[in-house]
A and B are shown apart, each in its own frame.
Chain A
């Protein structure tokens, strides 16, 4: 007996239990697929508002005993649209047709410009429902997508709300030309580049936080060539389509109000060595450096020392900085529609404090979507969103005067206050109390997205759509250092920066389809798009304020300013054809030609074709007898996509006005010309299988993809004697190969209880296939780009062991020359996970609902910079604190440890025990975490109806409840280099707040 039969039997049994107590009117009926007329097996038929239920048998027939006549029957089946029918006559056989629209393979799939049946769709697309995003406390949907789609890697970079997120779809295809997917919101390309200009150490902003996640109806993730190639120029890194909520025709006004309040706290922080421990290490380093053991710095005061180690105090700064953060989110929407017009109006207010003092995020958002049918032939639609964000910011990551370094990296031995009570400062650090009390850095974002389109129905199957949209983004940063801060010396200093970006898009689209029923379907589209982008920034710096009471730059005695402005444009033509035969065989072909202002006139145009084919095996005659396989589709596609995400004038030889000397204007040669610069091109092929099993209760999609990028737009290193260290040229090749598996299942579904699961797992293998010159990235050259290795590879000295006799670190001498120098650095690991994925379970029992999402990342390496700095063994002197782990260092012959003895001088082979780019700080950053957990209760309808509510749900959400990891830092999901050029550095854990654990309580009411 197959599993499907067991399931059907179980369903029937459960239904039968439900029916045992019912009254005696019996209805007979049949459920069939509205399109094919074939019977639907295992559909659930329920009499509304009762416990009476039944399931259809192998011929689609059912028998149900009902309480009332006329009876309202609801019919559900996985993959089909929910159906309600009223039965007046118990004698007549009830015929119920389920709409094929929601059939797994008949679902309409949007590929940007065309709409085709899923069965004839040849590409790889994942769809995430807006409601599956909500359980994760975050400022943007990007964090909420984590773990929810195969092929998608999402990594948070900082625990601060509204900060940047690393997101990659099917790997990274480029080095210097951008790897972010293209975001399209209601048809308009959305700028996903942060407009932050004041560096705060590596933490950057996430522009997608400008979008209210509550407005999102669904997110579609376009991955393969046929799905993305139609976005030609920017499709190489995948496309993420966001559809916002709209009203429904002929529905009464719906009002939804949601309020949520939460508290967030760090789940794990760092443990530092105490004062006495620190003093002991400093003394050890002194002795191991060969200095006089009688004169160690920490010896008794009577001998002229600083006091013995045991006498040293310990000051905790970490607890001063971290807090329990409050988070609030309120949103309301009104939607509805009549015969001709639908509307959606939404507002939201979101306020999130960071778990570190000095940072927070607020957003006020407004949305208005409207569709109106002027007449039978003309429809006009508009989507509009306006949002205002306000951030309190402070420096983190690579900024010694920032909060994290001041709190975490400063030695615990140092008293934060001088004897007179004033703030004490040590070395490069600022005082943590001074920063918390005086930090004054705010940023105000304004985002306006407007889209209007008009659609003409010209003939049956032929339509023309003209769309115009603008995405305007303004970011205003204000930072003031008063005289209590190190950077405010001597009389205060301030920066005021204003940056704006706009993208204007105009698009014309001709769409045609012809349904040669019953056997053939043909669709085509032809379009043109023009996109213009502009960017401008103005920065004013000032210093010398009369007193701390003045913070506007007008009061500064010295000011200087700088401005920058740029623009680009893109013109495109595109054509798409889709043909399907017998609903079984489909062919799809697209081509897009793009011209970009960023390239010289000879190489301006790029042409990006793609073809795909699909075969719905399960609709073949021979599959008619299949019982456990309900749907089976095999698909494949191949095509090209392009990338032009480089500086607007990257191909030009440039001189700018930065060569100022002695207050006289000066011209400076800043860029060497490359007239031959052209499109970076990615070839991708994809093969996949989609199946629906066990009466479509289990659906499985498997894809294999292979991407190969050529003509990389690379800032190629060139000989320094030219006066330039690099030039943009088309050099190098990168490959990404991967497998994706996505499974969703309805484990149990009956009247009272429903349990569904979805699981996805992705493996991506990235490799630089060709690179003429290896070159390094970031300070200290942590990352090396080298042929044959993946991107984000760490370039380190490989520490083999700590010599148990000497206590010195032993590094691998790669070239066996007896010396440890640059030639011995090697790629030890990389930040790529071997696997990422997620598992979501949703359970509903009567009015209770529970869902949780576990996401995981396996095999990604993280370079623990905090350890690098703080397992310093005395190299960084007394101002730098030590990790607790430092105490595991080697102390006497025979000790087995990987932490060498405290010592600041070089070893005989030229290496250093401490402060060296050692592989000992590279750790496995694998983790799994319960990303979100949501428990909700929907109040009984009749209870809330009295108060005038249609539906009220109260819920409790937890984000990052548990994290399982072997990583020694506070959070493996971090990156201090998010603002580093082209994001070529990943997995650097350096002085950033961890992802918080958030508990929130909310109520959502529909009126």
Chain B
């Protein structure tokens, strides 16, 4: 019997020890001690940029698609009904695009908050680096807040790194206007900590100016919008380039901030635009109405390159959008480009208390000239505003601007024939169930 016990104990000792249970993952690292110095803080900041590039967000497949399909520029031509629902403004709160976009944007917020909190607590880093990293993360967070607010209206804002699932219980939605104010204040507080210049893929002080110009425009703070846009336009690092150039090459001088993609982090966006013969699924395409505008030399000019016509006798009016077109899946995603600053300034100059028609026309015509369309002139502020609106529509034909411009200026109901409540998307059903603090938007 004693032998038996000995054998058992020896065998057990050979094969069993608590150490075998203390395993660390190979593919990931545990939470504690992940950001310990400047280098790791920078890597985590890259992670925040990465969050912007995902499918859910600026990778286009979800967030961007919802916005441009809602406009009259892009129409659904594919098979996935949850996209179609945006095209026909019949969005139910269980539409999966909403869930993915919403969750993806809040994941970006958390990543930015993690970088901010954890970098702030570092002691082995220069104050300058610390401030810059925190500032870049703050701008990324502000962009996320901005996209949430302009899409869904009143949204919850969180400013701390998440450590527990119940940490933000009780945090309710902030009114859209207050969100814009908070963004401005965040941007102003960190602007000076940023580099003055950088490559087009990272945030610098001009990025913040461009961002501020846009937020002020949404707030209808015309003078401020004009000033911020001017700060960018006068920066010689940026220039309007040939229209075809800005999206055919990466990092043209037109880009104030574009998100970079590569084989290591691809952009699936173009697959949804490309035609089946190019290996895409052509889930959506430029609308017939847009094509008529782009193909008009008086309106579209060189921007006609944004589509190609693949109609056949069997399938008339069949177009393919060309903005996102690379089979290599490395099309950049454009966050701010210089043309927008011109048109923001044009609009601000036209709409401010004492309109500056001449200055506004100059900005408008800078964009028109670049697209090789004839110079536009008018003496009427109203006509000018309409012209700027149309210019925005064709200049950003396949970007999200059209939808948000229609909503921002209150024209969506008339132009698209939708009730007011549909100018905001419903908050995803999944989060309404999971988050007791959330209130669904009116009408859904």
Contacts and interface: CB of A to CB of B under 8 A. Distances in A.
Interface stretch (A26-34, A801-809, A871-879): A871-879
Given A425-B277, A724-B162, A662 B20 contact: no
A508 B15 contact: yes
13 contacts: A427-B77, A427-B79, A489-B277, A489-B279, A490-B279, A571-B18, A597-B20, A654-B30, A661-B49, A719-B165, A722-B106, A876-B79, A906-B90
A666 B44 contact: yes
Interface centre among A661, A725, A774, A822 (most CB of B within 10 A): A661
A109 interface: no
A304 to B, nearest CB: 9
A514 interface: no
A670 interface: yes
A725 B211 CA distance: 28
Interface string B278-290: 1101110000000
Nearest to A655: B34
Interface in B72-97: 77-79, 81-82, 84, 88, 90, 92-94, 96
Given A490-B279, A659-B46, A725-B99, 10 more contacts: A567-B23, A661-B201, A663-B264, A668-B111, A718-B434, A719-B165, A719-B437, A721-B158, A724-B165, A821-B444
A268 interface: no
Contacts of A779: 82, 96
Interface of B: 1, 3-4, 7-8, 11-12, 14-16, 18, 20-23, 25-32, 34-35, 40, 43-51, 53, 77-79, 81-82, 84, 88, 90, 92-94, 96, 99, 102-103, 106-111, 113-114, 156, 158, 162-165, 167-169, 171, 201, 260, 262-265, 276-279, 281-283, 313-315, 327-328, 428-431, 433-435, 437-438, 444
A780 B96 contact: yes
Given A661-B50, A661-B265, A724-B165, A569 B20 contact: yes
B325 to A, nearest CB: 12
Contacts of A652: 25, 28, 30-31
Contacts of B431: 719-720
Contacts of B49: 659, 661-662, 666
A595 B21 contact: yes
Contact of A724 (B79, B107, B263, B277): B107
A781 interface: yes
B279 A659 contact: no
Nearest to A775: B430
Nearest to B52: A661
A664 B46 contact: yes
Contact of A662 (B79, B164, B260): B260
A80 interface: no
Interface centre among B25, B281, B431 (most CB of A within 10 A): B25
Interface in A710-739: 716-725, 727, 729
Interface stretch (A251-259, A323-331, A557-565, A888-896): A557-565
Contacts of A878: 315
A659 B7 CA distance: 51
A540 B15 CA distance: 36
A595 B20 CA distance: 10
Contacts of B40: 667
A428 interface: yes
A869 B78 CA distance: 12
Contacts of B43: 659, 664-667
B315 to A, nearest CB: 7
B150 to A, nearest CB: 17
B435 A780 contact: no
B46 A665 contact: yes
B328 A558 contact: yes
Contacts of A719: 165, 168-169, 431, 434-435, 437-438
A87 interface: no
Given A720-B102, A821-B444, A530 B20 contact: yes
With a 10 A CB-CB cut-off, give which of B46, B78, B281 has the most chain A CB atoms: B46
Given A428-B283, A822-B93, A566 B27 contact: yes
Interface string A448-465: 000000001011001010
A956 interface: no
Contacts of B282: 427-428
Nearest to B24: A649
A430 B279 CA distance: 9
Interface in A465-492: 466, 486-490
Nearest to B113: A723
B81 A508 contact: no
A997 B22 CA distance: 51
Interface of A: 306, 400, 425-430, 456, 458-459, 462, 464, 466, 486-490, 506, 508, 510, 526, 528, 530, 532, 543, 558-560, 564-569, 571, 595-597, 601, 604, 648-649, 652-673, 716-725, 727, 729, 773-776, 779-781, 821-822, 825, 869, 875-880, 905-906, 910, 912, 915
Given A654-B30, A723-B107, A668 B433 contact: no
Contacts of A880: 79
Nearest to A409: B79
Contacts of B283: 428
A825 B15 CA distance: 54
Nearest to B33: A655
B278 A649 contact: no
Nearest to B81: A915
B206 to A, nearest CB: 18
B103 A506 contact: no
B124 to A, nearest CB: 17
A776 B15 contact: no
A954 to B, nearest CB: 50
B21 to A, nearest CB: 4
A697 B248 CA distance: 82
A997 B168 CA distance: 57
A912 B201 CA distance: 43
Nearest to A649: B25
Contacts of B3: 458
Contacts of B51: 659, 668
B50 A596 contact: no
Contact of A725 (B48, B50, B430): B430
Most chain B CB inside 10 Å of its own CB: which residue of A458, A530, A905:
A530
B227 to A, nearest CB: 31
B277 A490 contact: no
Given A649-B28, A660-B264, A666 B106 contact: no
A723 B162 contact: yes
B111 A306 contact: no
A596 B23 CA distance: 10
Contacts of A910: 90
A667 B27 contact: no
B416 to A, nearest CB: 14
A428 B276 contact: yes
B162 A656 contact: no
Top 5 closest pairs, chain A to chain B, by CB: A723-B110, A659-B47, A653-B31, A666-B46, A489-B279
B328 A720 contact: no
A567 B327 CA distance: 37
Contacts of A488: 279
A822 B429 contact: yes
A306 B28 CA distance: 57
A659 B15 contact: no
A721 B162 CA distance: 9
A108 B34 CA distance: 56
Contacts of A648: 23, 25
